Amino acid sequence: MQDWLSPAEWEAVRLSLRVALWATLFSLPLGLGVAYALARWRFPGREVLNVVVHLPLIMPPVVTGYLLLLAFGTQGPIGGFMDSTLGFTFAFRWTGAALAAGVMAFPFMVRAVRLSIEAVDPKLEQAAATLGASRAWVFLTVTLPLILPGIIAGTVLTFAKGMGEFGATITFVSNIPGQTQTIPLAIDLLLETPGGEARAARLAGLSILMAAAALAFSEWMARRVAARVGGR
């Protein structure tokens, strides 16, 4: 099994999983907040927020990567600040790959969660309030359990998107083995290497398998949760 992929390729798989995991971990709470605000609140700038969240879905990924470079590169305002005060760098590191993956996957998270929040009847939340639950408790005991299927769907989509992100990642943090070379970037490099096609095909097959497994898992979870939530 170890021989099936070279150590460098295993490194790419591990890196992809790590990048996707961190991208998902950060997108989840943030996406939940943004989705809730978009679904339930009317505030100035709501439309702007909506557009900004969805931009990575519409724009060419290279442009997103370029904008990330401008903002989070060591010369960029945010990247420079974090580098000098916190000693935290995004540029040419796996953290940058995770950021790119997270930003690109964020619209998927927000859309999935927002749809499920809009499907929750506010009358149920009112009922919970009349029974003594404060806003936070209403969210935790009524809203959150009812939107769990949407959260699961959003999480899996985000994770899968994070595993497969290419354009923004390569633009922002380049293709550095062991740091930013995730599966798609490794495949890209192998395809340009003479005699690399077979190995590229193996990596491609592996990523198809992982994507299919993630989808099957999310379908299964969503069915279980939906049965429990809408349940009999």
Partner 1 sequence: MLEVRLTHTLGALRLDVAFEAPKGVTVLFGRSGSGKTTIVNAVAGLLRPASGRIAIGERVLCDTAQRLHLPPHRRRLGYIFQEGRLFPHLSVRQNLRYGQWFAPRGARSEDMARVVEMLGIGDLLSRRPGALSGGEKQRVAIGRALLSTPRAILADEPLASLDEARKAEILPYLERLRDEVDIPILYVSHSASEVARLATTVVALDQGRVVAQGRAEAVLGNPAITPLGAREAGAVLAARVVRHHADGLTELEAGGMALWLPRVDRPEGADLRVRIAAHDVIVARGRPDGLSALNVLPGVVQAVREGAGPGAIVAVDTQAGRVLARITRRAATALSLAPGAEVHVVVKAVSVAQADVGAAG
Q: Contact between 131 and partner 1 (CB under 8 A)?
A: yes
Cβ nearer to partner 1, comparing 50 with 141 = 141
Q: Contact between 128 and partner 1 (CB under 8 A)?
A: yes
Contact 168, 103 (CB under 8 A): yes
Q: Contact between 117 and partner 1 (CB under 8 A)?
A: no
Q: Contact between 151 and partner 1 (CB under 8 A)?
A: no
Alpha carbons 91 and 4: distance in angstroms, whole number: 32
The one segment of 34-42, 136-144, 169-177, 190-198 that binds partner 1 by CB under 8 A: 136-144
Q: In angstroms, give the least distance from the CB of 128 to partner 1.
A: 7
Q: Contact between 152 and partner 1 (CB under 8 A)?
A: no
Alpha carbons 150 and 106: distance in angstroms, whole number: 14
Contact 186, 163 (CB under 8 A): no
Q: Which of 12, 91, 100, 142 binds partner 1 (CB under 8 A)?
A: 142
Instruction: Return the half-sphere exposure (C-beta side, CA atoms, 13 A cut-off) of residue 16.
Output: 25
Residue 171's φ and ψ, nearest 5 degrees, are -70, -40
The one segment of 10-18, 71-79, 132-140, 181-189 that binds partner 1 by CB under 8 A: 132-140
Q: In angstroms, give the least distance from the CB of 158 to partner 1.
A: 24
Q: In angstroms, give the least distance from the CB of 225 to partner 1.
A: 9
Q: Contact between 146 and partner 1 (CB under 8 A)?
A: yes
Contact 98, 22 (CB under 8 A): yes
Cβ nearer to partner 1, comparing 42 with 232 = 232
Q: How many residues bind partner 1 (CB under 8 A)?
A: 24
> Which of 39-46's residues contact partners 24+ apart within 8 Å by CB, and which partners?
39/114, 39/117, 39/118, 40/117, 40/122
Residue type for position 33: G
Q: Contact between 230 and partner 1 (CB under 8 A)?
A: yes
Alpha carbons 137 and 129: distance in angstroms, whole number: 9
Q: Contact between 229 and partner 1 (CB under 8 A)?
A: yes
CA 134 from chain centre, in angstroms, equals 31
Q: Contact between 87 and partner 1 (CB under 8 A)?
A: no
Q: Contact between 137 and partner 1 (CB under 8 A)?
A: yes
Cβ nearer to partner 1, comparing 77 with 145 = 145
Instruction: Return the half-sphere exposure (C-beta side, CA atoms, 13 A cut-off) of residue 118.
Output: 11
Report the interface residues with partner 1, using CB under 8 A: 121, 123-124, 126-135, 137-138, 141-142, 145-146, 228-232
